[in-house]
Amino acid sequence: MNVRAERGVALVLALMVILLLSALGLALVVTTSTEGLIAANYRSGQEGLYAADAAAERALNDLPAVADWNALLDGSSRSALIDGAPNGVRMLADGSTIDLTKILSTANCGKATPCSPADLVANLTGGRPWGANNPVWRLYAYGNLADLLPAAIVDSPFYVAVLVGDDPSETDGDPLHDGVDPAINPGARVLALRAEAFGPRGTHKVIELTVARADAPAAGVRVLSWRAVR
């Protein structure tokens, strides 16, 4: 009997068992980490959707006070809930940044660089197919969600921006002025809103709404449509 040979085989088997157990342990760690990341991303995505919706709701409360919606469409009227000039870079809670100018350009013509007049009327499949009636978005309310609402109500790391534009169902080819007579122009007295939320791990959620002035002035506005874009 060769004792040394048998001891060598036992050592090799022991090393193989150790390697196998290590691989199994590593696989378990990777699986657990992946599942945790998926859960965190899902949670952040849902929170982002709620943040965008909350920002839109907050903006809806301000709209009845604007007597002339053309002031919204030309960018001369904004919500009091803003954090500075409607351009430039903002830092998020996780240290990442967004650029308000790029956000506006992306909404208006699908690219990060400034939009030309031709870009604004270009037909973009699935996004802006109305040509001359494409909404020209303007920043209306923007800032940290926690600053837009009372601190006792919300504690959120999300940054939100609410954009306003002319309802694309109008037929006058003039997105900077609201229509006057709904009987002639179906989009008259209707406003489009686009609420975007930006948060941790690159989370970005967008919802779009159309709202109309209520028949009774004191009743404010009524929501005609609501959809999640992303």
Local confidence band at 73 (pLDDT 50, 70, 90 cut-offs): very high
Question: Higher model confidence: residue 104 or residue 28?
Answer: 104
Calpha distance 127→164 (Å, rounded): 16
Question: Higher model confidence: residue 40 or residue 108?
Answer: 108
Mean pLDDT of the chain: 85
Q: Which tokens belong to 67?
A: 């007597």
pTM of the model: 0.81
Predicted local confidence at residue 36, as pLDDT: 60
Beta strands in the chain (DSSP E): 89-91, 97-99, 138-144, 159-166, 190-198, 204-213, 221-228
Name every residue whose Cβ is closer than 8 Å to that of residue 208 and which is 6 or more positions away in sequence. Answer: 192, 193, 194, 195, 225, 226, 227, 229
Predicted local confidence at residue 124, as pLDDT: 77
Local confidence band at 191 (pLDDT 50, 70, 90 cut-offs): very high
Residue 110, phi then psi, degrees to nearest 5 = 75, 15
- Comparing 155-164, 180-189, 205-214, the range with the smallest average pLDDT is 180-189
Predicted local confidence at residue 109, as pLDDT: 92
Predicted local confidence at residue 81, as pLDDT: 86
Contact 209/192 with Cβ under 8 angstroms? Answer: yes
Predicted local confidence at residue 155, as pLDDT: 77
- When pLDDT is averaged across residues 157-170 and rounded to a whole number, the result is 93
